[in-house]
Each structure stands twice: as structure tokens, then as C-alpha cells.
Amino acid sequence: MIIDLKALRQKGIKSQQFEFSYLPDGELLSLPDAKFHDDVKVEGVVEVYDDEAYVSGKITYGIDASCSRCLAPTTKFFEIEFDEKFVSERASSADEDCLIYKKDKIELIPTVNELIMTDMPYAVYCKDDCRGLCPNCGKNLNDGACGCEIL
């Protein structure tokens, strides 16, 4: 997904809505055995200024993973609100801390990938009160007690 700022400026457009979806590389996911449930959806609006652009909106994604306690298959959905400022490579205010766009084009997917990686939880649970597996016999304690004496 590339936003062509030059084309928008030429049409005199200051603000433009957009929407796209894509399937990111599963390597983004730090959770073991996790994969994206479906395409990631991104919707938002870009505001165009002389040497800057603001992109804000919402990312929605789902992951299929194993419950971090009992290993049951678990699907979770997440939503990220974002608001990013992009500065032209030509702008004097451009420095390493800001997002830079080159040749008047904003390439959004790397930024979205970054936001997803930052947002990703370290663990997912099949339910909030998942009891996990018995550390002794390995029985799924959601199915009932195993009878082990846990010290």
C-alpha cells in the first residue's frame, strides 16, 4: 500500500481516506505456533501538507495461536489505533526519530508491520481464567483436577 502524495497534491486533495488489507509475513509473530487468522485490515485517513503528512486510523488483526497456559488452539482479535507523522526526506526537520518518506510516496506496510509487532501480546489465553496444564502429569486442568499433590 503506497500513498502517492504527489498525485494527491496535484489533484489538490488535502485529506484522503484509504482502506486496504494484506497478509503479513508470519515471522512478525513472536508467539510460538502463531499465525495470522486472516488478512490484516487497515483503514484511515492521510492529511497532506507541504513537506509532511499525517496518517491516522485503525489496524485490525487476528491471530491463531496456542493458549500460553494449556496449549489449546486460541484465536484472538486486536485493534490498534495509530496516528503517525511522516516527514519528507527533503525537509529540514527530518531526523532519525521521525518517519521519513521518499520521492513523495509513503510506503505504509512497514509502518503497519512495526505497529503490529509492538502491539503483539507476549501471551494469549484461551480464556482469562485458564487453569493451564498440571506441571506434574500434564493433564489439562480446565477438564478437571488431576489428583496430583501439588506442593
Report the interface residues with Zn ion, using CB under 5 A: 67, 69-70, 72, 126, 130, 134, 136-137, 146, 148
66 versus 113: smaller Cβ distance to Zn ion = 66
CB nearer Zn ion, residue 47 or residue 64:
64
The string of DSSP letters for 42-91 reads EEEEEEE-SSEEEEEEEEEEEEEEE-TTT--EEEEEEEEEEEEEEEETT-
CB of 65 to Zn ion, least distance (A): 11
Contacts of 38 (CB under 8 A, 6+ apart): 23, 61, 62
Residues 6+ apart with CB under 8 A from 140: 70, 72, 131, 132, 133
Report the residue number, 50 or 122, with the smaller CB distance to Zn ion.
Answer: 122
How far apart are CB 69 and Zn ion at their closest, in Å? Answer: 5
Residue closer to Zn ion, measured from CB, 115 or 146 = 146
| C-alpha–C-alpha distance, residues 113 and 35, integer Å | 14
Positive or negative, the CA dihedral 73, 28, 48, 19 is negative
